[in-house]
Amino acid sequence: MAAVRNVLVVGGGAAGTAIAILLAEGGVSVDLIDAKPAADTAGSGITLQGNALRVLRRLGVWADVSAHGYSFDTLGLRAPDPHGSLIAELDDIRTGGPDLPATTGMYRPELARILLDRAAAVGAKIRFGTTCTTFTQDADGVDVTFADGGTARYDLVVGADGIRSQTRRMLGIDLTTTPTGMGIWRAFTPRPASVTRTDLYYGGPCYIAGYCPTGPASLYAYLVEDARDRSELSPPESLAVMRELSQAYHGPWDEIREHRTPPPPGYETLVYTHVLSAPWHRGRVVLIGDAAHACPPTLAQGAAQALEDAEVLAELLLAADAPTDAMWQAFTDRRVPRATAVVDASLQLSRWLLDRERGDVPGLMARISHLVSAPA
Ligand SMILES: Cc1cc2nc3c(=O)[nH]c(=O)nc-3n(C[C@H](O)[C@H](O)[C@H](O)COP(=O)(O)OP(=O)(O)OC[C@H]3O[C@@H](n4cnc5c(N)ncnc54)[C@H](O)[C@@H]3O)c2cc1C
């Protein structure tokens, strides 16, 4: 018997869909709600490291992810010179184990569709366009009211509602979310045949200029600069800024630049961070994913850590008879130090970039790869 019979998951991103899949598969009745009116049909790409792929395999979606994404095992470093010269080709560590690639690039809406379809197929009941307006908990459960009307009682509520988590606020947790100082432009474009893995260009007008193939015919390209308010720019103006910033980068970037067409080819996201100290639960409400920890994407570990939270929490809930203090302590022990180390390392990397400081980047990357290679 599991520790819970019915669960409300608030938020249908990577963390929320993953926990919904695992609990529903384990025989728990799962309601998943998301404030968005519908699943995203447009967006950019995501880089999934091996440890994320290991969880996706556990969720039963690896074949689908593999078929729609683009996998590779090396990382290229290029110079911001007139030829985009290749400086080094590094073997990426297969952090998900030897039978999974080191990295898979995906179109985000495709990943979301795969996860939502899987959650529905294993029995999770999914509702878009609503949120939870109040919850009141006692020792045995949580009474919830919904914005679209109705109430329900659950054994557990999982707040997987992202970096600005309303669940976190409703718990009265005061967590400061701080800007990292970085802004990222991302563009989703056709993949030139020459792009078969991620290449990173350090230096030039941007801190990083990079791209990641996301499927046989697509890639996403990104440019990291100082955070600034670009919210007033129209799509053509955004395209012009991104094109201008990318002019310093050559090699495959020349083809990527050619392919981009408005609107909107790219958009800038300001990057924020936080990490919640233990515990991540209050009574029978628990936070996972970006609601608990958010890192700059310098190590591409945000979604991976969100997926790991879901895997560990589901494993513990399905193995226990009740959500005991010992079970929550095990969750804390397995998740808080690991996710905190990843956030800290991702932040350290972004600080080195912003301060134009030559830190021990290979050493830091090797340490985190080693850490996340061990199953969560
Ligand atoms: C610029 C950028 C690039 C990134 N690149 C990568 C990368 O390459 N690789 C990687 O691993 N990570 C990357 N990340 C991090 C990654 O996107 C996040 O860590 C991950 O999406 C977190 O998943 P989540 O499910 O916790 O939250 P989210 O994906 O934010 O999902 C939260 C969900 O909750 C819903 N929601 C919000 N509020 C409510 C509410 N009140 N009620 C109901 N539903 C609600 C939202 O609609 C959303 O669907 C990047 C982040 C940024 C900012």
Phi-psi region of 95 (alpha: psi -120 to 50; beta: other; left: phi over 0): alpha
Distance CA 52, CA 176 (A): 27
Ligand 1 close to Cβ of residue 224 (< 6 A): no
Q: 13: CA distance to ligand 1 center in Å? A: 6
Tell me which of 3.40.50.1000, 3.90.800.10, 3.50.50.60, 3.30.43.10 is the CATH number of domain 6-71+102-177+272-373.
Answer: 3.50.50.60
Which pLDDT belongs to residue 265?
45
Among 176, 224, 227, 180, which residue's Cα sits nearest to residue 202?
Answer: 224
For the chain, the structural domain boundaries read 6-71+102-177+272-373, 181-270
Q: 36: CA distance to ligand 1 center in Å? A: 13
Please tell me what DSSP assigns to residue 279. P
Q: 309: CA distance to ligand 1 center in Å? A: 13
Distance CA 228, CA 94 (A): 36
Of all residues in the chain, what percent are helix, strand and coil, respectively (each to 5)?
A: 35, 30, 35
Q: Is there a contact between 44 and 108 (Cβ–Cβ < 8 Å)?
A: yes
Which pLDDT belongs to residue 242?
86
Distance CA 333, CA 326 (A): 10
Q: For helices 302-319 and 14-25, what crossing angle results, to 10°? A: 20
Distance CA 266, CA 189 (A): 9
Among 273, 276, 281, which residue's Cα sits nearest to residue 351?
Answer: 273
Ligand 1 close to Cβ of residue 15 (< 6 A): yes
Q: What is the bridge-based pairing of β-strands 103-107 and 125-128?
A: unpaired
Ligand 1 close to Cβ of residue 34 (< 6 A): yes
Ligand 1 close to Cβ of residue 166 (< 6 A): yes
Q: 290: CA distance to ligand 1 center in Å? A: 6
Among 211, 171, 158, which residue's Cα sits nearest to residue 189?
Answer: 211
Ligand 1 close to Cβ of residue 46 (< 6 A): yes
With tokens 């690039």, the residue in question is: 105
**For every one of its 376 residues, what pLDDT tens digit does the chain have, with 9 covering 90 and above?**
799 999 999 999 999 999 999 999 999 999 999 999 999 988 889 999 999 999 999 999 999 999 999 999 999 999 999 999 999 999 999 999 999 999 999 999 999 999 999 999 999 999 999 999 999 999 999 999 999 999 999 999 999 999 999 999 999 999 999 999 999 998 889 999 999 999 999 999 999 999 999 999 999 999 999 998 887 888 788 888 888 999 999 999 999 987 755 445 446 688 999 999 999 999 999 999 999 999 999 999 999 999 999 999 999 999 999 999 999 999 999 999 999 999 999 999 999 999 999 899 989 999 999 999 999 9
